Amino acid sequence: MLINNMNKTQKIHKKVNLGVLFVIPALIYMLVFVGYPIISNFILSFQDVTVQTINQPDKPFIGFDNYIKFLGDPVLVRAIINTFLFTVACIVFQFVLGFALALFFNQKFTLAKPIRGLLIIPWMIPITISSLIFKFMFTSNVGIINEMLKAIGLAPIDWLLQPRIAMIALIVANIWIGIPFNMILLSAGLTTIPKTLYESASIDGANGAQSFFKITLPMLKPTIGSVLILGIIYTFKVFDLVLVMTNGGPVNSTQVLSTYSYKLSFSLFKYSEGATVANILFVILFFISLIYIKLFFISDTMDKR
Amino acid sequence: MKKILILTLIAAFMISMLFLGTSCKEEVAEEEVAEEEEVAEEEEEVAEEEVAEEKTDIKIWYYWETLMHQESLDTVISSFNASQDGITVSADYIPFADFKKQLSIGVAAEELPDLVIIDNPDHAAYAAMGIFADLTAELSSWPDLEQYYDGPLGSLTIEGKIYGIPFGSNCLALYYNEDMLESAGSEVPTNWDELKDVAEKTTTNGVVGFGISSLPNEEGTFGFLPWLWSTGATSFEINSEGGIKALTLFKDLIESGGMSKEVINWTQGDVMNQFISGNLAMMVNGPWQVPTMRSEAPDLNWNVALIPKDEVYASDLGGENFAIINNENVSKSLEFLKYAVSVEQVTEYIDKFGYIASRKDVAETQYTDDPIMQKFIEQMQYALARGPHAKWPEISNAISNAFNEVITGVADPETAAANAQTTIDSILE
């Protein structure tokens, strides 16, 4: 047995596949805690599990019926549109504002670093708390935002009570929460650009805009890519913010995929339908992640060659 | 070179661990067989011990967060534990928001308590899951059964089978601020036109005439149903003359300004806080708010009346039921349950809950010198149970969706009613 062992070791060692061994613990962990729930969730979505059937040993298998049922479901369509709308609007504003702040605090002026540090606070506050505060601020009768509108002579707005406007309120809240994340990662990226590049550019007569587009942007490309993809994934699976601020309402108008899945499973006890919606969310995120891997990992290895 | 040596050693170690793993499994398998034999022996021992001691543990799950409620339950439990030797009862608190989730997870994981104290509209759904014991046979010879009101008993009777015993009940009624109604020169409304009129008249700067929790969930449906039922329609007939009429009432109240759109985000607690802060002239709420209102706003002049009616007076039945989980301890659980719902015990704790007893013999002796609570007892005669239906959560969702559409102006009452009816019909099929 021992000799057998040694032989194997040598063989493995010869092929320099030692790394495989080190991957095994992580792989086992992933299979048990990530792989199993995903597969189990897919199986659940092909069954008909509700309050009546959850306690039965044999759950009725209904194939793609759950998915077909959702094809014409207006709430699901609304949830998908909302999820994309929310993600795009949040990412655009978070990124632009975060980038602007990162550039601004990259200048050398008094208190630049402490203020930049303080700006991370929105990111550090638990989202439930931020959401509750925004909910109070957007309240129609006594909310500070309507009070301010009244003070400057404008009509108050029913922020969280009107279907279209409620979505805007959610987006505003999430932009505020997400700016620091973009700012900090981009700031870190900015510090990796050698100052000498800017110096030589200015000697060559480049103006601010030119050095931004010719030096800053190209040098930041990997950082920007990571920030955008991570931001999209975080934003796409938004849950707590919506649950606390509107709970998907009024009348499902701010329902996103995650909250709709939660509602189906834990308010209406339609576990299989909840799993189906969760899987739709999973598949979309899966493709976004594939794009991320393709864009960055593959181009990285190509560069190295 | 040294590095390679170390790596080789680590690799060898890991591989041998793998082999160890497989060989261990075999040993484990052998051990398991041995253990099973031991367990079998132990079980025999346990069985023998049970004959000797007969001590059974009974676990209860409940969701009351009020300290007074928890203490009252503990009192019942400890007096029962002291009264006999065979059974030890204990109770676990689970927050209301997690209660149904925990119960569903418990079903899937087969880790359930022996007794639950559950919100009455959910009783049917869980009975349909098959987790509650059918007590029809055990209770048929129980003389106290006929003392129970039809409403509470109806919430736990499904197709003629009884799946529990009611704990206590409450219902909704109309609260009004006496000073505000007086200064508006209004009488207490008794029908819908008067309600609309008074709501509009009492709406002034900073005060809204009327408020009712209209959340898009069970809490909101609870508030809406009395209006639907008052027209003579049932919970399952929202697309009827009555259903549209009830939705139109909400639409009119919103349009006249007599009710704020904000109600779709208000819990019953929020509504009560608005009322005692002087922001509401009238509200619909339950008797469990009375102790808080008396202590928080002792100077506020308020009173309670029946909910204004359309065709008939109506209110809905809130409250909890006891249910026994269908496991090997059913008869022991029932023993405790019969003790906990006995006249002596119920009389002891029910007033502390601000509840109305579900049994007539106790309810008739309750709150005799409390006119507010007397009003709730009067309203109670008109209280109906929600459902009972195994898919009540889905039906409730369709109803709450309809009045939310109307309140926010997304749909007119006719469209909202028709949409909700389509959903309800597909559930009832």
Contact B11/A12, CB-based, under 8 Å? yes
pLDDT in tens, A163-203: 889 999 999 999 999 999 999 999 999 988 888 888 888 88
- CA-nearest residue of chain A to B107? A55
Least Cα distance to B129 among B145, B140, B137, B118 occurs for B118
Q: Which residues of A touch B263 (CB under 8 A)?
A: none
A70-79, A132-141, A154-163, B26-35: least confident range:
B26-35
Whether A57 is in a domain gets the answer no
Contact B324, B114 (CB under 8 A): yes
Asked if residue A191 is part of any domain, the answer here is yes
A160 within a domain of the structure (yes/no): yes
Of A12-26, A197-211, A223-237, the poorest mean pLDDT is in: A12-26
Residue A187 lies in a domain: yes
Q: Which residues of A touch B4 (CB under 8 A)?
A: 13
Q: In the numeric block, which tokens belong to residue A257?
A: 């995929």
User: Is A137 a domain residue?
Assistant: yes
Q: Which of A5, A13, A251 sits opposite B16 (nearest CB)?
A: A5
How far is B144 from chain A, CA to nearest CA, in Å?
Answer: 31
For residue A170, give its domain range: 74-304
Q: Which of residues 164-193 of A touch B (CB under 8 A)?
A: none
Between the alpha carbon of residue B381 and those of residues B151, B221, B264, B313, the distances in Å are 9, 20, 28, 9
Residue of B128, B262, B394 with shortest CB distance to A268: B394
Domain CATH for A106: 1.10.3720.10
Residues of B with CB under 8 A from a CB of A: 4, 7-8, 11-12, 14-16, 19, 100-101, 104, 107-108, 125-126, 128-131, 216-217, 260-262, 264-265, 279, 390-391, 393-394, 397, 401, 404-405, 407-410
Query: What is the number of domains present in chain A?
Result: 1
pLDDT digits (tens, 9 = 90+) for B361-397: 898 888 888 899 999 988 988 888 887 788 888 899 8
Q: What is the pLDDT of residues B200-249, one digit of tens each?
A: 999 988 899 999 999 888 889 999 999 999 999 998 999 999 999 999 99
Q: Is residue A46 part of a domain?
A: no
Give me the residue from B262, B279, B394 closest to A161, CB to CB: B262
Establish if A8 belongs to a structural domain: no
User: Is the pTM above the cut of 0.90?
Assistant: no
Query: How far is it, in rounded angstroms, from Cα B75 to Cα B296?
Result: 27
Q: HSE, CB side, 13 Å, CA atoms: give it for residue B218.
A: 19
> Which of B78, B116, B148, B120 minimizes the C-alpha distance to B343?
B148
Tell me the three state secondary structure of residue B213.
coil
Per-residue pLDDT, A248: 86
Cα A89 from Cα A81, distance rounded (Å): 12
Interchain CB distance below 8 Å, B401 and A18: no
Q: Which residues contact B57 (CB under 8 A, 6 or more apart)?
A: B87, B88, B89, B90
CB spacing of B8 vs A13 below 8 angstroms: yes
Choose among B222, B210, B220, B211: nearest CA to B181. B210
> Do the domain assignments include residue A129?
yes
Query: CA-based angle B106:B112:B113, to the nearest 5?
Result: 145
Q: Show the CA angle centred on residue A155, arms to residues A149 and A159, nearest 5°.
A: 75
- Over 80: is that where the pLDDT of A15 sits? no
Q: Does A8 touch chain B if contact means CB atoms closer than 8 Å? A: yes
Of the candidates A8, A139, A163, the beta carbon closest to that of B408 is on A163
Q: Cβ contacts (< 8 Å) between B126 and chain A: which residues?
A: 51
